[in-house]
Structure 1
Amino acid sequence: MTFSWKRVNAIFQKDFKEFSRNMAVSVVVFLPILMAAIFSRMGMDPLLNGNLTIGFALTMVGSYVQCCLIAEEKERNTLRGLMLSPANTYEILGGKSALSFVLTMIVAIVSVMLAEYSPANVPVLLLGLALCAIFFIGLGTLLGLIAKSVMESSVIVLPVILLFSMGTAIESFSDKYPILSVIEYIPNLQLLELATRIDAGAGFGEVWSHLGIIALWSVVIYIITAIVYKKQMVD
């Protein structure tokens, strides 16, 4: 079966209509923007503020919103209808992720602007941000497939938000607890390291390893998500 952008676009438009009607979920997209504006007026360092609010945009919009949308589809049994439609796995997952990707990128960029953070290399940072968004949306999709209801999805996604949003704080304990040193490889901390290095004058050749690690996370999470999705199709 060939990949159809028309089917992807149809799923995207359907999700947009459902998202705009769900105030409990749609209001979440404004939280990172509000935080960026507040932290900026508190005098927080622009680099720290920008990356902190980017982290919240990735988790709150990328993972939380995506998780709730997928869980809502399951709860209403409309996801099963999509599984039985002519659309294949890639079209459905792509269409279901498109809205969250657009929202995540918009919220992250607006948050960076409000944080008054001006990256030295915008294209490289945008590439890293896009790869991170893909990972967090994939994670949200996976959690949404696992959850049995919207209420359950909003609970199981909270540890993810806390872990990835507080990654920098957890990393500070790595000297005392060496096992925590692995936390530095999570996507949003790799993005922070990338932003720090490009602000120090590093070029693409010096930060490609960070992009590679983020891309690897994205590939792995979508492989797992596709496996879980196909098991649900069999069910």
Structure 2
Amino acid sequence: MNISMKRVGAIFIKDYKEFSRNYAVSIMLLFPIFFAFLYRGTGEPQGEIYAFILNFSLAMMTSFIQACLIAEEKERNTLRSLMMTPASMLDVLLGKSALVFTMSAAVLALSTYIYGYEPTNLPVLLFAVAVSIVLYVAVGTICGLYSRTVMEATLSVFPVLIIFTAGPYAQLFADKFPVLEAARYLPSSQLMELLGGASGTDAVEPLVVITLWAAALTAISFILYKKRLKDQ
């Protein structure tokens, strides 16, 4: 399937203009910065708090914005028109994801600087965060495609926020409820494990698990987009 960078760029610019006019959505960019200021210098384990900031921000910002942008297109019936243009599936999904990916990366980088997190392995951190952004963009795409309105998209993101943010802490109750041991394999739990001090070969498993999650959810978003295209 061919990718037209011109079409991707046009969709990126269109989304940017719509995003800049929607203050109810764009305000989400402030949450990671707010939490970075709130938790810096608290004396808590730096890696764990930073992982919480990342997990919460990715769900509340990345997934939320992506879901709302797509749901807004559906609500105004412009997504149907976009699907019928010569733009391929990859053109549309890359164009609609590029803006959210870029904004997420920039805001998380600023939040990291504000919080003062000092990674022991910068390339590993960059890779983990980049793949996590892809993962949460895919989640937002799925939520947006399943939603008929922006309000529905807003509500659909909350289970993601609760499960992925609280998932790492569910393991604390695994002794009483063994089923909660499965929460260890959530991408948010793996990210917290990675930032909690995993290094060398110990860092391989978290990176692999996060990458598998990102690949699986991206594939699901592609399949769902194709299904919506046929439904039209």
**How many Å apart are 1:169 and its aligned residue?**
2.1
TM-score (norm 2): 0.95
What amino acid maps onto 1:212 in structure 2?
V
> Is structure 2 residue 210 aligned with structure 1 residue 214?
yes
Per-residue CA deviation, residues 174-230 of structure 1 (Å, 9 max, x unaligned), is 1211111111111121111112234xxx23x44222211111111111111111111
> What is residue 101 of structure 1 aligned with on the other side?
101
**Residue of structure 1 in register with 2:48 after alignment:** 48
Task: Decide whether the 8 Å contact of 2:135 with 2:217 is kept in 1.
Answer: yes
* Correspondence 1:54-203 to 2 at 5 A: 54-198=54-198, 202-203=199-200
Residue 230 of structure 1 pairs with residue 226 of structure 2? yes
5+ residue gaps, structure 2, are none
Shift of 1:134: 0.5
C-alpha separation in 1, matches of 2:129 and 2:81: 32
SS of residue paired to 2:7? helix
> Structure 2 counterpart of 1:113, which letter?
Y
Structure-1-length-normalised TM-score: 0.94
Partner of 1:18: 18
Superposition CA RMSD, Å: 1.4
Q: How many residues are matched? A: 231
* 2-structure distance, mates of 1:133, 1:187: 11
Residues 43-92 of structure 1, C-alpha deviations (whole Å, 9 max, x = no match):
44322221111112211121111111110010011111110011111111
Q: Residue type of the partner of 1:9?
A: G
1:139 CA drift (Å)? 0.5
Question: Once the two structures are superposed, what CA deviation does each residue of 1:85-124 show, in whole Å capped at 9, x if it has no partner?
Answer: 1111111111111111111112222222222210111111
